[in-house]
Amino acid sequence: MFYVIGLGLGDAKDITVKGLEIIRKCDRVYLESYTSVLTVQQEILEEFYGRSLIAADRELVESGADEILPKKEDEDVAFLVVGDPFGATTHTDLVLRAKEKIYRICAFQVKVIHNSSILTAIGCCGLQLYSYGEIVSIPYWTDTWQPDSFYEKIASNRQRGLHTLCLLDIKVKEPTLESITKKKKEYMPPRFMNVNEAASQLIAILDNKIQNGHKDLAFTQQSLAVGLARVSCEDQHIIACSLQDMTHVDLGLPLHCLVIPAEKLHPLELEFLIQYALDKNQFQEMTQQT
């Protein structure tokens, strides 16, 4: 059997009972370590699970899937994923490749064990889940690569009266540009985008559109934004303020995400969200049209 197991968002104890029982019986257990990260170290997970884990980086998952999958009929392998197994397209691809191998050798089965995901846990800020539109990812910009297509998706959501969850970039074991052509790769230090950086990039896009004569912007620097950090952890932190103020908010350690709410909010959303307002008077001014 090949198991893909969600670990949830918080710490080692977020694993389901079913998932834990499977982990303890498997012959090999891999821990995916690049689409997201838990707030605890691998050693803590190993102590709680009572077994060793094999770190699975991007190269192994995307290029060496056959190495991960069961090699014989009586072997059980678990692949552990932060959040829910289908929270990233990489894991969908891995399941498809596993099933393709099944068709070739008919030696094992695939089973998915679900868990909590940021896609549902984001409801902790009070914005109603059924009022979210398309999710966007905000990537790190470089001097020569500054994509802004995610703005159009936020704009489309706002036009339809929907909130936008922005997932922020992480860089774990990313090769440096100089090392890509070398036989021995060198890696950049890990980086995790925070809400300050995401808000700053969004404002840079707004400024660029204004300079190019755009008048009907989907949102402005003074529009409401919600920043969240370490959702589901003991030190979870949520702040609601203007997008401009978000560039100065310090939510501490990763992981962060950002929500651009719809222009008009439901009264229950307002009542819930105001508890996280950086400035309650400013919050009421930003949302008075609702």
Binding region for S-adenosyl-L-methionine: 9, 84, 87, 117-118, 168, 231, 256
In the chain, the DSSP E strands lie at: 2-6, 28-32, 54-56, 77-81, 110-113, 136-138, 164-168, 170-171, 191-192, 224-229, 237-242, 256-260
Give the integer Cα–Cα distance in Å for 271 and 6: 32
CB 30 within 8 A of CB 58: no
Q: Which residues are annotated as a binding site?
A: 9, 84, 87, 117-118, 168, 231, 256
H helices within 56-178, ranges in order?
58-63, 65-68, 89-105, 118-121, 149-159
CB 229 within 8 A of CB 251: yes
Cis peptide before 255 (omega within 30 of 0): yes
